[in-house]
Amino acid sequence: MRDRAESAGRTGSADWNDGADLAGESSRCGGEREGGGERGPLLLFANFVSDVVCGREPAELNLHGMVQSSRKVWLARPGDVLVAQFPVSREFRRYVGGLLGMAPESVAVITTEPDPTLPLAEAVEQTPGLTGRLRALVAERPGIELLPIVLDRSTVRLAAELGVPVSGYGNRHPGSGGSGPEAVPESALEAVDRLNTKSGFREAAQKLHIRVPAGRACRDWPDVVAGARELLDRYRQVLVKPARAAGGDGLRIVTRADLPNLAQHQDALRNQPEGWVVEEYVPFVRDVSVQMEVGPTGATVVYCGEMRTRDCSYHGFASPLPEQERERAGSGGHGGGAGVHRELESAGLALGGHLTECGYRGRFSIDAGVTEDSAVYAVESNVRRTATSTRHALARRLAAMSGRPDRAWLADTRPGPHATDLTAVQTLLQETELAYSHQRGEGVVLSVESLVPDTGWHYAAIAADLGRAAELERSLHALLDAALGSD
């Protein structure tokens, strides 16, 4: 492996936000560091591969996250340092910098060799000379803090080795006693590990009176079969899923007729040391999520949104929820579901209180399903910065620069065989006036660089409301299909 560090500007460089004031968003989100506001330099640590997933999820899932490292550029300001496990091209940095008013060379970008089996912190430590290079960059940036995707032990260890506080632990809050940065407590790391499993979340949710589907965690496969048989006495269908998995991997709907064949399902999922969850199958008509921020004094709601899923796998997101948009327009009583976001927020605040007690600082989300009669069932928590958090940050940041702080946004991926030709798509967006315009306060941005062919175009459509954002999305699809072809 080799050090591919690129030179960076100092903290005193021109303001990344081009004068936009996001302090209100920062304070509203309990010290949120991604969207903006006054802050010092950050070491943006894109640990898509972490202790939490290594050895527990297939390497191809880790690789899927790694190739999206470029999305972290949307969080950067001059003087920041981005550490990633996948290349981020100058072309994409110029594209992002052009929209955010920043020179691409004003952010240091360091990448290790891609390895989906090695946590990023360990990859840094094993790359000759890279830890020393990071120390030098840190020394040039007084007050720098490390902002990880997920708070894991190897990252905390590396931060200590570099002498950099983890974001959220940089200064003790008033009344806590002592001075200087707080240590990340073991209880916080244990909570991250536990609550990134479906079984760990179920246990916490039940104690916190958060509604979840009827069911239980299972230690081993005989326990799964027994649990499924027990639930099928009460329900027509049950859901069997690994305690730690993503993208719908390993999930199966089971009926009583399937019980004799469950052993075959186990053969495909032998490496599940943390067990499974068996629960009532609840037919959801919507998939929703609440994103939260935990600070020293507690948890706050950042945003809610609706997930786009296909075959139990997430592929897109839209925010705010339609019922939130109706409330803002003064028509909250129409269309039903007005209580969905309140239930989501209540669940988020309950789990946030638990995480606060554990000493955790940072982002987390709760994903949930909504039934036809608007009942909300929480299904999992993600104690990390998820894919949507960066899209939300870029939408808020661009909107604030345009003087329009309340914007709706949606994000998704459009398949295409030519998904590496960034310049061609930029030109198409500009020529058709679909590209994001600060003057109009709306448009489409490419949220992630596509360095791997056939992975599709990752985009975000930003507009005054969800209806207009959907119009922009339809126009984008038609444009890409006509100009570049579609699978």
Of 140-144, 160-164, 216-220, 413-417, the poorest mean pLDDT is in 413-417
What is the rounded average pLDDT of the residues 223-245? 92
- Residue ranges and CATH numbers for the domains of the chain are 23-184 (no CATH), 214-280 (3.30.1490.20), 285-383 (3.30.470.20), 407-487 (3.30.70)
The arithmetic mean of pLDDT across residues 35-50, rounded, is: 85
pTM: 0.87
Query: Which residue stretches of 67-109 are H helix?
Result: 90-100
Helix (H, G, I), strand (E, B) or coil at 410: strand
Tell me the chain's radius of gyration from C-alpha atoms: 22
Banded model confidence at residue 99, pLDDT cuts 50, 70, 90: very high
List residues bridging with 446 in a β-sheet: 459
Structural contact between residues 462 and 443, judged by C-beta atoms closer than 8 angstroms: yes
Of 447, 381, 377, which Cα lies nearest the Cα of 414? 447
Q: According to the model, what pLDDT value does residue 27 have?
A: 30
Q: Are 251 and 245 in contact (CB under 8 A)?
A: yes
The backbone torsions φ and ψ at residue 319, rounded to the nearest 5 degrees and listed phi first, read -145, 140
Grade residue 313 by pLDDT with cuts at 50, 70 and 90.
Answer: confident
Residue 458 has pLDDT above 50, yes or no: yes
- Per-residue pLDDT at 419 exceeds 60: no
Strand extents, DSSP E, 320-436 = 362-370, 376-382, 408-414
pLDDT tens-digit profile of 392-416?
999 999 999 999 888 999 999 987 6
Helix axes 153-162, 130-139, angle to 10 degrees: 60
* Tokens matching residue 260: 């004799």
Nearest Cα to Cα of residue 33 among 289, 390, 409: 390
Dihedral angle computed from the Cα positions of residues 95, 98, 99 and 101, in that order, rounded to the nearest 10 degrees: 140
